Structures are given as C-alpha cells and as structure tokens.
C-alpha cells in the first residue's frame, strides 16, 4: 500500500507562489508599491509571530532573537539616516521581507515529512520558472516583463544581454542573477533528500538546466560549490576529523598559491572563473572600496546615502549582499545577521548531523551545503526584493532541525489524549437476561 504524501503547509505554498509573481503585479497603496511577495508576508507574518510565541512545540532560540534584533536594528538605522517616515517604510520593508519569510518557514515546517513536501513544491516552482525563462534565452526577448509592462503600465528596468550566443533570462524575477540563484540554491538539499539515484539525477538535471538559462556566473558558481562539497563528502566519508583536515589543506593551498603567484588567489578566482573577467575585477574593486566605507562609518553605516569610490566607478550598485548590509547598517547590523546564521547552523550540526535518524542527518547535511553555497554567493550578488526574502526563507527551512519538536511535549500531548479517552463515558450495552434466574 502506497504511503500518502504529506501536504505542503498552505501558507508556505502561498509564499512560494508569491516568489514567482512578477513585480508588475505589485499593489499600490497610498503611494507605496507593495510587491506580491511582500503582500503575502503582510498577511502571514503576524500569524507566524503568534505561532512562534504561543505554540508549545516551538521554543524561541538564540538565533530567533538574533534575527529579530537584526530586523529591529534595520528599521532603526534607516529611520536615523532617512528620517522617520521614509526610513520606516524602507527599513520596515526589509524587516518584513527578511523576518517574515524566515518565520513562515520556521513556524509552519516542523518535521521531515513537511520538509520533503516543501521541497516538492519548490521543484514545481523551479520547473515553472524555467518554462517561463526558456523562450527568453532562445529568442532574445524578455517576454514576461515586456508583456506585463504593456498591460500594467509599470516598466521594470531590463536589458537584453547575451553570453555564449544566448540571452540571459529574467523570467518572472527582477534580474537574471536572482532567477539563477533561486534555481541553483537547492542542489545539495535536493540531492540528499532524494530516495533513489534516478531521482537524484533527475533533480540535479532540472536545477542545472534551469540555472543555465540565466547565464550568470554567480549561480553557476553556486552549483559548482555544491557539487564540489558533494564530491568531497563522498570521498572523505569515514575519515576522522575530515572537516578540520580539509580546512587545513585549503589554507595551505591558499598560502602556497599566494607565495608563487603574481596575483592573489581571490583575484584569480574573481577574474578567471567568471563568464566576464571585467565583472570579476569590478567586484573586487567594489569590495575594496566598500570596506573603506565600512571602516569610515562602523557603527551606523551610511544608510541609503551614496558611497565613496573612485570617479571611474560610475554605478552606485554594490554586488555583494554582506557588504551592502555592513555599509548601510554598520558593523552591529552585519554582526547580528552573521550571529543568527552561525547559531542556526551550529544548532543544525548539533541536533541534525548528530541525530540518531539517518534521514534527519542527510537532510541536515544537504541544508548546510546549500546554505554555505548561498552565503558565499552573497559575496558577489546582492539579495534584494524576492531574493532577499528567499534567502531568509531558506534559513528558516532548517528550523525543524535546529529546534525539533520536543519529545516531552509530544509525550505530554499523548498522555492528555489518553486521559480524555479514559474519561469518555462507556456506551451502555444491554445485558441479555434470557436464561438467568429472575428475582422473586
């Protein structure tokens, strides 16, 4: 008999569907533009907060406090720089995207069965995103945004860029990099969640094919990083202290390469492992000059003000999520965010990789690998709008591993259920009297 599949929690389906909605579907309210994913989070976040504080099978952990503190700091910093009204709108939007998406995943996904269901839904979402993006890559036109601009009147800034003779697809996303990152992030997670070799290969082919439609270096590097970690895990299985040993080897290789090369290894990777070497070099310059801005404004950052850079760096864009947070919100802001990520990763290692259940260990390993790749990609990609929310949503996916349903709470619920059944009145069954002596 086939085991019934667990359904994905409806709020999670609602949010994933909102991730795929183009920005042209935004709601305009009193001069504010509310994108579809933010509208979904306006509805879901209050419920998620209530679940976090009121449900007995959820415990507020240190990483929850860190993400909440980061969100409060975000609002406060932008109110300081941009004024109360504008700062509240911008900072509040970031807090809603980040904390809201995190809490939706954190509070509605509470066991392995629900986690598998969410991964199935994500695979359908990636298929849908790829189907929409494929014609753009092949025919050289941003069909989705162009068509919706004609219908809604809102023109989202796009550009037809070609690489390797193909066009970089936007699909329903704000940028080809965002589309590619959305598709590439879950490779390791899907690999360890799959139950057969055939399913592993099928899902890997789906993610690789979908990611390549964006023709972006960072998402392709995200796939490569996860593939390398998967191979590393397989080859080093059974070796004691393999993580420490691997880190020592990497540090040794870096030092050795630095001694014999005319360029730093980071410079070589940035300019030699991208589809456009100029893009890699420019991102190095962004980091160098961006860090100077962080050092000059360490406590409160610069908010949305323009950053100091050489005259030839015309664009104000900073293609680095972690750097943008540090520049705009100061060192306290980036410290709170990094602390939250570090604490939840530590909890996944402690309660997931060391769990007695092999399935939980595999799912935890997949999440850690995907999280490492996504965090590293954040060094060369800025997460904004949908991708910003997706980043925190992915962090929240590990909540059921880091904060498992407590055994005592489950046992207590079982005892209460048994007591209720014991207190239920027994049905009155008539006793047959035929053949029994009757009273005089």
* Burial class (CB within 10 angstroms; exposed 0-12, middle 13-18, buried 19+) of 152: middle
Taking residues 400-428, what's their average pLDDT?
Answer: 62
pLDDT confidence band for 430 (50 / 70 / 90): low
Helix residue ranges, H only, 378-406: 386-396, 399-402
Q: Which residues of 19-53 are buried (b: 16+ CB within 10 A; e: fewer)?
A: bbbbbbebeeeeeeebbbbbbbbeebbeebeebbe
- Which tens digit of pLDDT belongs to each residue from 30-51? 878 899 999 999 999 999 999 9
Alpha carbons 112 and 182: distance in angstroms, whole number: 22
Asked whether residue 397 carries a pLDDT value surpassing 50, the answer given is yes
Question: What is the chain's percent helix, strand, coil content, to nearest 5?
Answer: 70, 0, 30
Asked whether residue 342 carries a pLDDT value surpassing 90, the answer given is yes
pLDDT confidence band for 2 (50 / 70 / 90): very low
Asked whether residue 336 carries a pLDDT value surpassing 90, the answer given is yes
* Burial class (CB within 10 angstroms; exposed 0-12, middle 13-18, buried 19+) of 95: buried
Phi-psi region for residue 182, left (φ > 0), alpha (ψ -120 to 50) or beta?
Answer: alpha
pLDDT at residue 134, rounded to an integer: 97
pLDDT at residue 306, rounded to an integer: 95
377 or 270, greater pLDDT: 377
Taking residues 336-341, what's their average pLDDT?
Answer: 98
Q: Is there a contact between 78 and 65 (Cβ–Cβ < 8 Å)?
A: no
Taking residues 396-413, what's their average pLDDT?
Answer: 78
The whole model's pTM is what? 0.90
Asked whether residue 167 carries a pLDDT value surpassing 90, the answer given is yes
pLDDT at residue 426, rounded to an integer: 45
* Closest-CA residue to 126 (of 183, 208, 200): 183
Q: Considering the chain, what is the average pLDDT of its residues?
A: 89
pLDDT confidence band for 252 (50 / 70 / 90): confident
pLDDT at residue 428, rounded to an integer: 46
Query: What φ, ψ does residue 234 adopt, rounded to 5°?
Result: -70, -40
Query: If you search the block for the tokens 């860029």, which residue do you land on?
Result: 161
Asked whether residue 259 carries a pLDDT value surpassing 80, the answer given is no
pLDDT at residue 284, rounded to an integer: 86
pLDDT at residue 255, rounded to an integer: 84
Question: What DSSP assignment string belongs to 246-310?
Answer: HHHHHHHHHHHHHHH-SS-HHHHHHHHSSS-HHHHHHHHHHHHHHHHHHHHSTTT--TTSPPP--
Q: Which of 4-18, 69-83, 112-126 has the lowest mean pLDDT?
A: 4-18
- Which tens digit of pLDDT belongs to each residue from 183-219? 999 999 999 999 999 999 999 999 999 999 999 989 9
């Amino acid at each position: 008999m086939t085991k019934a599949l667990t359904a994905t929690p409806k709020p999670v389906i609602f949010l994933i569907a909102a991730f795929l909605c183009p920005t042209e579907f935004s709601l305009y309210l009193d001069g504010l533009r509310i994108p579809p994913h933010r509208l979904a989070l306006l509805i879901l976040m209050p419920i998620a907060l209530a679940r976090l504080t009121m449900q007995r099978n959820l415990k507020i952990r240190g990483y929850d406090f860190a993400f909440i503190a980061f969100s409060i700091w975000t609002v406060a910093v932008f109110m300081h720089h941009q004024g109360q009204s504008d700062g509240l709108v911008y900072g509040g939007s970031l807090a809603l995207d980040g904390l809201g998406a995190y809490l939706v995943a954190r509070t509605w996904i509470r066991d392995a069965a629900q986690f598998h269901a969410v991964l199935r839904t994500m695979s359908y979402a990636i298929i849908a995103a790829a189907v929409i993006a494929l014609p753009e890559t092949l025919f050289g036109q941003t069909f989705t945004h162009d068509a919706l601009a004609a219908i809604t009147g809102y023109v989202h800034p796009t550009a037809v860029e070609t690489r390797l003779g193909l066009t970089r697809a936007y699909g329903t996303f704000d940028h080809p990099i965002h589309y590619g990152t959305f598709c590439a992030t879950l490779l390791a997670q899907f690999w360890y969640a799959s139950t057969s070799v055939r399913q592993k290969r099928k899902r890997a082919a789906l993610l690789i094919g979908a990611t390549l439609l964006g023709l972006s270096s960072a998402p392709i590097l995200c796939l490569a990083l996860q593939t390398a970690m998967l191979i590393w895990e397989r080859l080093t299985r059974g070796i004691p202290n393999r993580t420490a040993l691997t880190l020592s080897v990497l540090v040794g290789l870096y030092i050795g390469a630095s001694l014999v090369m005319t360029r730093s290894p980071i410079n070589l990777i940035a300019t030699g492992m991208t589809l456009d070497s100029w893009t890699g070099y420019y991102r190095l310059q962004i980091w160098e000059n961006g860090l100077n801005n962080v050092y000059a404004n360490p406590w409160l950052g610069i908010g949305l003000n323009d950053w100091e850079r050489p005259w030839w760096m015309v664009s104000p864009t900073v293609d680095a999520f972690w750097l943008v947070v540090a520049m705009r919100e100061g060192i306290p802001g980036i410290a709170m965010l990094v602390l939250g990520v570090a604490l939840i990763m530590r909890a996944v290692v402690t309660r997931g990789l060391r769990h007695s259940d092999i399935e939980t260990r595999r799912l935890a390993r997949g999440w850690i690998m995907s999280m490492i790749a996504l965090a590293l990609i954040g060094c060369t990609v800025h997460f904004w709008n949908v991708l910003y929310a997706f980043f925190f949503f992915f962090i929240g996916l590990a909540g059921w591993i880091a904060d498992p349903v407590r055994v005592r709470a489950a046992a207590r619920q079982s005892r209460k259920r048994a007591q209720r059944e014991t207190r239920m009145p027994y049905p009155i069954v008539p006793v047959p009297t035929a053949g029994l002596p009757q009273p005089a």
